[in-house]
Amino acid sequence: MQIEKNYDAYMKFIHTSDWHLGRQFASRILIEDQEYVLDQIIAYLEQHQVQALLISGDIYDRSVPPVSAVALLDKTLSRIGQLNIPVIMIPGNHDSAQRLGFAAQQLSASGVHIIADFEQMLRPVVIDAKGERVAFYGMPFNDPELVRNHFQEPVNSYEAAHCLLTEKIRQVMDVQSVNVLLAHCFLEGAVNSESERPLSIGGSDVVPHTVFEGFDYVALGHLHAPQYKGAEHIRYSGSILKYSFSEQFHKKGVTLVELDAGGRASVQNLPLKPLRDVRTLEGTLTGIVEMGRHDPNAHDYVLVKLADTHAVLDPMGKIREVYPNVLQLEKPGLYRAEGEVVAPGQALKRDEYDLFCDFFEQVAGQALSEPQKQAVKEVILEVRKEEQA
């Protein structure tokens, strides 16, 4: 959905989520990458002259984030504060609500609104825009147990928890004005990625989009692919970076939302350019190393799938010379001869002799002689006999 220019937008805000500050990707800490895209978000805030920034949870990657992540959030919020743009955020399932919510009351006076408990949930952040008022409600990440204990109500599912909480908000909200909700959950039918931590082990963690009826825009967090479900205004902005190889084809960005006086939302994806992209390379070792020598984006985080059908010596070391941020190596080719598919068990057996021949050739620079080949075969046969004895 593109922004339509023929209506009177009176409120503009940016919706983002799933920053996961402090996250590691295959043991690389991504702080530098995260700062790089946060810079772009700050630039968008200025460029589009928005009235608010919404962050729908998973601000940090862990309940106790590393100091570098705390420092980055601190710096980012300070810079946004200098622009006089209010920030409204909720904790996600990766955040500690109580740690993130520290000094929330005092920070609120400075335009940083951290909605971290169910009392704050019922007190909207109200922003005036051209004389009209927009109320922003935040629903901190919650699970059935938390809601059951807090409200002493028989809540046994994520759906019931979200029904109860949205109902509590509807009871206090002014339906005549425009109402926006931030929430962090898994919408039924939405598309997940490998880098999201499941909300529930065993039980169902999904929530139907219908629980969010009555809000003019629902800014969701949790799923890392930007998408909407049920209605175009019930929407995930997606994460700010690709946090797994399963996300390599995602278009990461933030969502620019414009509301007209009737509360009708128009949205636009503002792309974020990563410092290092995440992608998969397929080919032979020789081909990939050759490609890497001329690849302008050789610093990307790459997963390499080797097509070689013969064993190769130290492929990771050779690839790293040209792709220093290679994070993962797979060798599907090794188990597959041209045109045929070999089950891994068979491949391993067939390979004992072949692997050694390849290895010898790589190390010695020449193939085994016939007597050598004979000796190797004899040794392998002898070992097999012993294994079977």
> Residue numbers of the site for its own copies (CB under 8 A)?
64, 67, 70-71, 73-74, 77-78, 81, 96, 98-99, 101-107, 109-112
| Dihedral angle computed from the Cα positions of residues 101, 105, 109 and 110, in that order, rounded to the nearest 10 degrees | -20
**Can you say whether the dihedral through the CA atoms of 381, 384, 385, 386 is positive or negative?**
positive
CB of residue 384 vs its own copies: minimum separation in angstroms? 54
Q: Tell me if 188 sits within 8 A of 131, measured CB to CB.
A: no
Of 106 and 369, CB closest to its own copies: 106
Which of residues 107 and 206 has its CB atom nearest to its own copies in the complex?
A: 107
Which SS3 state, helix, strand or coil, does residue 145 take? helix
Nearer to its own copies, 80 or 218 (CB): 80
Give the shortest CB-187-to-its own copies separation in angstroms: 29
Q: What are 62's two structure tokens?
A: 């862990």
Q: Which residue, 77 or 306, is less far from its own copies as judged by CB?
A: 77
Q: Report the nearest approach of its own copies to the CB of residue 104 (Å).
A: 8
Q: How far is the CB of 114 from its own copies (least distance, A)?
A: 9
CB of 23 to its own copies, least distance (A): 18
Residue linked to tokens 């601190």: 74
Shortest distance, position 325 Cβ to its own copies, whole Å: 27
DSSP 168: H
Which lies closer to its own copies via its Cβ, residue 26 or residue 103? 103
DSSP string spanning 260-273? ETT--EEEEEEE--
Residue 225 and residue 244 in contact, taking contact as beta carbons nearer than 8 Å: no
Q: Would you say 69 or 288 has its CB closer to its own copies?
A: 69
Whichever of 77 and 304 has its CB closer to its own copies, that residue is 77
User: 335 to each of 197, 306, 316, 318, how far by Cα in Å?
Assistant: 32, 11, 18, 21
Print burial letters for 225-261: b (CB count within 10 Å at least 16), e (below 16). Answer: bbbbbbeebbbbbbbbbbbbbbbeebebbbbbbbbbe
Residues 49/14, Cβ–Cβ less than 8 Å: no
Minimum CB separation from its own copies for residue 76, in Å? Answer: 11
